[in-house]
Structure 1
Amino acid sequence: MDANLSLFNQINSLSYWFLLESNYKSIVVLDAEKDTYFINIKKGKQPLYTHCINHFSKKNKNFLKFELIAIVNSLLHIKDTIMSRRPESA
């Protein structure tokens, strides 16, 4: 679970970065009642990335790790795209 905790921290840090450093909005929700983990990245009203892990607590830990890694990689790709579009300062 330590690896998954690290991945959760990365997802939260990236989501926070989107809120502070860009005009993208992020939502991360761990819903115990629905047993889901949901992330959504939007630019204005346009959704850019959405992922929901259903049956979160019942997931095989290796499958969960794989899904979390995919989320981190997707968020890093979006962040890199944002950073590459920024004009370089002199």
Structure 2
Amino acid sequence: MRGSATPKTATSVCGPAAVRRLARGFTGLLRRARDAGELNPGLDAEAFAWSLMSFVAARSFRRAVVTDPDLERRLVEQLLRTLGDRS
């Protein structure tokens, strides 16, 4: 196994208020891109911001337990498809 099975979390490193500020920043960025027609018009910007942050936070967990080296690429592609689907 690689990495630590119990990685530090963002809240333990910088505090909950900083994490919430980051989420608000991502939410605003995603809303602006969605409203400009650059992203899926049905995108829930706040939910996707938290999903993206959770994805990044869980990376060390995945590295510690997942044996499929291709999984990270597939997960990123799935996230990008969600963002770019403009139907």
TM-score range for the pair, normalised by the shorter chain length: 0.3 to 0.5
More RCO (CA 8 Å, sep 6+): 2
Greater helix share, structure number: 2
